Amino acid sequence: IDAASEGDTVLVQPGIYLEHLAILNKNITLASLFLTTADTSYISTTIIDGDTSGRVIYADGLTSETVIAGLTLRNGKTSDEPGGGLHIAGSSPTISYMVIRNNTAMMGGGIFCDGATLNVFNTLLMENVGINRAGGIMTINSDITLENCAIFDNHAPNGAGMNCLYNNDEGNFYIVNIQSCDYSDNVASGSASGLFIGKLSGNAIVDVVLDECTFTDNITNGNGALQIRGEEVDFRMLNCRITGNTSNTFTAGAGFLGGCTGEMANCLIANNIAATGGGYWNSGGVALWADVEVIFDNCTFADNFAPYGGGLTVAGSGAYFVNSIFWGNSNQQIAVVDFEENGGGLFIDYCDMQYGFDSIRVDPYSTLAWGDHNITGDPMFVDSGEEPYELSSSSPCIDTGTPDTTGMNLLPFDILGNIRVWDGSGGGTAIIDMGAYEYGAPVWVGIDDPEPIPKVASMKMKVYPNPCREYVILSFDVDESQRIAANVFSIRGERVMQVMDETVTSGSFEASIPLIDLSPGIYFIRVSTPDKTGIQKLIVL
Is residue 137's pLDDT more than 60?
A: yes
Convert the pLDDT of each residue in 474-520 to its tens digit. 888 877 888 888 888 775 456 788 888 888 888 888 888 898 888 87
Of the pLDDT bands very low, low, confident and very high (cuts 50, 70, 90), residue 460 is low
pLDDT of residue 454: 38
> What string of DSSP letters covers 253-306?
SEEEETT-EEEEES-EEES-B--TT-SS-B-SSEEEESS-EEEEES-EEES-B-
Is residue 88's pLDDT more than 70?
A: yes
Between β-strands 143-147 and 117-121, what pairing exists: parallel, antiparallel or unpaired? Answer: parallel
pLDDT of residue 46: 98
Asked, for residue 509, whether it belongs to a domain, the answer is yes
pLDDT of residue 459: 55
Is residue 73's pLDDT more than 80?
A: yes
Percentage above 90 pLDDT, the chain: 77
Residue type for position 372:
D
pLDDT of residue 511: 85
Q: What is the mean pLDDT of the chain?
A: 92
Of the pLDDT bands very low, low, confident and very high (cuts 50, 70, 90), residue 452 is very low
Is residue 408's pLDDT more than 90?
A: no
Range of the domain at 527: 461-540
Report the alpha-carbon distance of residue 306 to residue 285 in Å, rounded.
8
What are the b/e assignments for 451-474, b being 16+ CB within 10 Å?
ebeebbeebebbbebbbbbeebeb
Report the alpha-carbon distance of residue 456 to residue 46 in Å, rounded.
45
pLDDT of residue 446: 62
* Selection from 134, 71, 60 nearest residue 104 by Cα: 134
Residue 466's CATH number: 2.60.40.3080
Of the pLDDT bands very low, low, confident and very high (cuts 50, 70, 90), residue 151 is very high
* Selection from 192, 131, 129, 124 nearest residue 152 by Cα: 124
Asked, for residue 500, whether it belongs to a domain, the answer is yes
Asked, for residue 505, whether it belongs to a domain, the answer is yes
* Selection from 255, 178, 254, 182 nearest residue 214 by Cα: 182
488 versus 446: the higher-pLDDT residue is 488
Mean pLDDT, to the nearest integer, of 90-119? 97
DSSP letter assigned to residue 330? B
Asked, for residue 514, whether it belongs to a domain, the answer is yes
Report the alpha-carbon distance of residue 136 to residue 144 in Å, rounded.
14
Is residue 59's pLDDT more than 90?
A: yes
Is residue 451's pLDDT more than 60?
A: no
pLDDT of residue 510: 84
Is residue 463's pLDDT more than 60?
A: yes
Is residue 109's pLDDT more than 80?
A: yes
Asked, for residue 476, whether it belongs to a domain, the answer is yes
Of the pLDDT bands very low, low, confident and very high (cuts 50, 70, 90), residue 529 is confident
Convert the pLDDT of each residue in 370-396 to its tens digit. 999 999 999 999 999 999 999 999 999
246 versus 461: the higher-pLDDT residue is 246
Between β-strands 286-289 and 312-315, what pairing exists: parallel, antiparallel or unpaired? Answer: parallel
Helices and strands counted in the chain (H then E): 2, 56
Convert the pLDDT of each residue in 178-214 to its tens digit. 999 999 999 999 999 999 999 988 889 999 999 999 9
Is residue 448's pLDDT more than 70?
A: no
Asked, for residue 118, whether it belongs to a domain, the answer is no
Task: Choose the most confident range, by mean pLDDT, from 76-80, 337-341, 448-452, 503-507.
Answer: 76-80
Report the alpha-carbon distance of residue 337 to residue 240 in Å, rounded.
26
Asked, for residue 137, whether it belongs to a domain, the answer is no
pLDDT of residue 493: 52
Number of other CB atoms surrounding residue 515 within 10 Å: 19
- Stated as kind and residue range, the H or E segment containing 44 is helix 41-45
| Burial classification of residue 410, based on how many CB atoms lie within 10 Å of its CB (0-12 exposed, 13-18 middle, 19 or more buried) | buried
Report the alpha-carbon distance of residue 310 to residue 302 in Å, rounded.
9
Asked, for residue 515, whether it belongs to a domain, the answer is yes
- Stated as kind and residue range, the H or E segment containing 406 is none
Number of domains in the chain: 1
Report in angstroms the alpha-carbon separations of 10 from 6, 64, 244: 11, 16, 43
Is residue 450's pLDDT more than 60?
A: no
Q: 113: helix, coil or strand?
A: strand
